[in-house]
Structure 1
Amino acid sequence: MSTRQSVKVPCVMMRGGTSRGPYFLADDLPSDPAARDAILISVMGAGHPLEIDGIGGGNPVTSKVAIVSRSKRPDADVDYLFAQVSVRERAVDTSPNCGNMLSGVGPFAIEAGLVPAKNGVTALRIFNVNTGKVIEVEVQTPNGRVTYIGDASISGVPGTAAPILMTFLDSAGSKTGALLPTGKPLDRFEGIDVSCVDAAMPVIIVRASDMGKTGYETYTELNADKNFFARLEKIRITAGTAMGIANVADKVIPKPIMIAPGKDGATLTVRYFMPHDCHPALAITGSVALASACATPGTLAAEMCGAVTLPATLSFAHPSGKLDVVADKGDGAAPKVSVVRTARRLFEGFAFAEVDSALLRQSERSAA
């Protein structure tokens, strides 16, 4: 006889930036991480390349989850926990933040009644539970209602939508406690020059030419090169361990960023890895880390793009177009970085999961 139990959870499916996934209220999920993750794995259909038995899209950018709650912190309006659900394995990683999914948190929180809407623009402060950092967000709310319709466009998403401005404040040391986790702007791992940077997202930056690439390859071309990924993963694990990140092989951090000289007005050409697939565009947290690297003398990014005087607009070319960010002097080691994203509410209703009954009973006893 099956020990599984069917679970019905309210959720809203949203596109956030160039990512997509379900948004949940924290109160609608178990507080116990093991039971919560079991529900997310089942809901998304993790463990199958197409996620055929769930609502995940068979790609890391469409296998993401946002969990939102009203914040008890005096410096924030809402808390946001990001969960990266693996496509190929039945696993959940809550170590990183996701800036694209973050862009949907503000609209979701307002429409869920967690934050009152103002007439015109509603500003809110979001505490990212994953990194312990606060991000300021501005959402378009004409007549006190969220609108997703507007004239802003972002590369990697068709059409236009209402702009959502996000400003990452003191982003340095999101997981390692330091902007330069190894204490240096430049290291050498596995025979390759590497810059290890932690701002909004811990990343390792490498030159495309050092990896035998031009840096202008499509993400499909890169994803097909298994030898390249094997080499990149070896560098990532060695560098991540030097950054003080435990069990790197089992985590999606640090994220590799491969850079090449910019073309057609771009500051740099970028290929961002998640880490075992090339991103079809560029993660927002990755762009914050890269902008911080550009403004930090001695890093590979600063060496390639030249001296950056703040405030500055930096343009990063990626497989789907360009991403512009504005970097300015911040209060901490990393610059304050602002970026415009868009989001769209796709559908709302219930997600269904099948979870081990004993795990749910254990979670209920813990909550009691």
Structure 2
Amino acid sequence: MNAQVALDVEAPVQGVARSQRHDVGAAVLGSSGCRMAGGFFCLGHMGLLQWFGRFFHDSDQRCATAYLRQMRLRRGSGTGGELASYQGAPAGGGRKKNSTSSDLWRPPGGGATALMDPDSTDEMVDHLVDFFDQVATDYDSWAGGLHGRVAARLAEIASPKRGHHALDVGCGTGMVAHLVAAKVKPGTVIGIDLSERMLSVARSRRDPNTQFVGMAAERLVFRPSTFDLVTMGEALAYLADPAAALEEAHRVLKPHGRLAVSCLRRSLSTPAQNLFFQGLVPLARRHYLSLPRFSSERSQFGEPSVLPGLLGEAGFRVTTMTEMVSGGRARDAREWTDLMAGAGPLPYTLIKSLGPRYRAELEEEVHAAMDSLGDPDDAFRYHHSYLLAVAEKR
């Protein structure tokens, strides 16, 4: 693949927006120190509690085992926006022109509301966990190691200090956690995530000052003012209730502690990407596939006019914002679909479910769609753009 053209660009982002505060809640679960049964996640051994027991309230230490055996994600239902949820341009239910970040979270009749209803039935969470389980071994190498470069930049701007304690929410394969761990020694890093296989990859690198566990980000068992730093690398848009994750991050951070977040900025996708992802829902319907989906508001999380508002509503003050853009061009439809399959749960499930005949048909359609763009230079071209922010607890 001649994919990773020298397009990595970083630039400060101006115009930090502010919006109103609201109530919030998110979820991250699953780990290879834990087992899953009937939708419940249980701590697999008491060594984990002993390891980070000093971070709990005394009362939390007494009830943590029972909590971890009984907790379920608080989940509701999402509407519309399959494409915007995973990649590409916002769907029809998205943000109107000239709206502010707080407009995204207000019902048509006005009045404040939560950021959004928790967007996940059990089916949605299962869909996400299955996707990340399936891609776990290839996650670090996808798109020429793009996730690793984003993680490295996030760890850099987060500025972890020696002796600090950090929490990595949605830690995945542990890329951010391990980078931070190297900088905070003898401090510690705890990573939490949904996917057992992702956590297994994270644990395979044995840093003595890291621990990876299953935990719900909407109800962290840590006492208030525990951590100096919380990181969320490419995780916020995938959480069941993103706003609660931010509120919980605020609670467990020490005064003036920092939150570092990276989000995909989907509005900078190329015409080729937008055209491709717009065709995924018709493709699913044609093959009688019905997939769970997030609401389209999540496609806005990586926008400079939106993310600072979300953080502000959770009690943070943004101190640093920067963008990172990587891009390239696939050689043909097969290379393109292989690359796009890794972009999210929807394209992955659809593309990987097709047999040889229907995969060939899809690639023919992709070729025709690329030709329809008019400019040959636009065909098979893609951008992966990220907004990174560091915010201080107010």
TM over 0.5: no
TM-score band by shorter chain is: under 0.3
Please state which structure has a larger fraction of its residues in helix: 2
Instruction: Give the TM-score normalised by the residue count of structure 2.
Output: 0.25
Instruction: Give the TM-score normalised by the residue count of structure 1.
Output: 0.26
Please state which structure has a larger fraction of its residues in strand: 1
Q: Which has the higher contact order (CA 8 A, sep 6+)?
A: 2
